[in-house]
């Protein structure tokens, strides 16, 4: 059996809130934002796991934890047999060479003062890769890989001289130039025009096949997950509520929240209306500071029963790989 390239076990990230003056005087206990609150998953080599959910559910925080940008409050992450949570600060530089991130906003993720050559050269300089001539060759090749051609026409340009789609291609090239084995893609197409989203996702797929990459694909758009990923994890308020092979989860959603996300996709397939007829769900996402007891989705859930208020969120199995956390699906 092939060992997963990434294994995450009971991962948590709690951010302490600064106490108010009155709380300080009273000596009130510190309160925490429980952004990620005990999640576990694994990704096979050259696989794509889509992490989906509404804004504020903890998706991006999870991505930054995997990147090593945040230290976890609790839990364990193992990448290719190496315990990431046990790495020293001086070892993290080598780790970040193997794990790269594609950010959501191509307009703010690239330094506007840099020329395109400098944007792509910077990771090579940081990791002491090659001399000037070798770096020029790597930068040109990286631009060609993301279909920015001819590269010599773009090396001297500043980011404001490119379209949003071209900027995101440059951001992808920057992530790929260090030849990573794992890439966190944080909503890489949500800021782009609809007309070019499919092109960018297809480019990322091609790069995955050519480079044998593994992706953690973060998105709020469950419709793109079906065509891009092979497995899906649905996240709500810091917890994963349903996970499994992407087609199995989307064709047979069990958790009411998964059904809600599917119902939010414009122009749903007519024959699937029986799956999503229970919506709309109620209200807003609760605060991650004051998480509801029991099933954390129960205040908004159309299937809520009294037992949901004390349910410990232990998973139920729908198949060998498909599981969910709901006592009244």
Share of the chain above pLDDT 70, in %: 95
pLDDT at 280: 65
8 A C-beta contact, residue 243 and residue 249: yes
pLDDT in tens, 249-273: 998 999 999 998 888 776 555 555 5
pLDDT at 144: 96
Which listed CATH number (3.30.70.260, 3.40.50.10800, 3.40.50.300, 3.30.565.10) goes with 6-252? 3.40.50.300
The pair of structure tokens assigned to 276 is 């999503």
Q: What is the dihedral of CA 141, 143, 149, 154, to 10 degrees?
A: -120
pLDDT in tens, 134-157: 999 999 999 999 999 999 999 999
The residue among 311, 279, 314, 316 whose CA lies nearest residue 298 is 311
Mean local confidence (pLDDT), 113-137: 95
Give the span between the Cα atoms of 258 and 264, in whole angstroms: 10
Residue 88 has pLDDT above 60, yes or no: yes
pLDDT at 193: 86
Residue 77 has pLDDT above 90, yes or no: yes
- pTM for the model stands at 0.92
Residue 200 has pLDDT above 60, yes or no: yes
pLDDT at 132: 92
Share of the chain above pLDDT 90, in %: 73
pLDDT at 278: 52
The pair of structure tokens assigned to 243 is 């996970």
8 A C-beta contact, residue 288 and residue 56: yes
pLDDT in tens, 270-318: 555 555 555 567 778 888 999 999 999 999 998 899 999 999 999 999 9
pLDDT in tens, 35-68: 999 999 999 999 999 999 998 899 999 999 999 9
pLDDT in tens, 9-30: 999 999 999 888 888 888 888 8
């Amino acid at each position: 059996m092939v060992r997963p390239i990434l294994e995450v076990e009971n991962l948590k990230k709690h951010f302490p809130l600064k106490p108010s003056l009155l709380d300080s005087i009273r000596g009130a206990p510190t309160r925490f934002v429980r952004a990620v609150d005990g999640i576990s998953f694994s990704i096979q080599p050259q696989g794509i796991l889509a992490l989906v959910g509404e804004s504020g559910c903890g998706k991006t925080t999870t991505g930054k934890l995997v990147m090593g940008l945040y230290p976890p409050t609790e839990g364990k992450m193992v990448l290719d047999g190496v315990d990431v949570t046990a790495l020293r600060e001086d070892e993290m530089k080598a780790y970040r060479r193997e794990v790269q991130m594609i950010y959501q906003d191509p307009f703010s993720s690239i330094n506007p003062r840099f020329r395109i050559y400098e944007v792509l050269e910077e990771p090579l300089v940081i990791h002491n890769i090659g001399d000037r001539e070798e770096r020029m060759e790597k930068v040109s090749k990286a631009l060609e890989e993301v279909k920015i051609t001819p590269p010599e026409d773009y090396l001297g340009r500043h980011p404001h001289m490119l379209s949003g789609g071209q900027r995101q291609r440059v951001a992808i090239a920057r992530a790929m130039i260090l030849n990573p084995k794992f890439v966190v893609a944080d909503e890489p197409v949500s800021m782009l025009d609809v007309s070019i989203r499919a092109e960018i996702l297809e480019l990322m797929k091609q790069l995955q096949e050519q480079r044998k990459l593994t992706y953690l694909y973060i998105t709020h758009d469950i419709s793109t997950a079906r065509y891009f990923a092979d497995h899906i994890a649905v996240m709500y308020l810091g917890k994963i509520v349903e996970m499994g092979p992407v087609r199995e989860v989307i064709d047979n959603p069990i958790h009411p929240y998964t059904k809600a996300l599917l119902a939010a996709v414009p122009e749903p397939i007519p024959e699937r209306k029986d799956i999503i007829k229970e919506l709309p769900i109620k209200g807003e996402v609760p605060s991650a500071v004051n998480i509801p007891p029991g099933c954390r989705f129960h205040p908004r859930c159309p299937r809520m029963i009294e037992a949901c208020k004390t349910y410990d969120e232990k998973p139920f199995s729908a198949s060998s790989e498909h599981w969910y956390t709901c006592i009244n699906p």
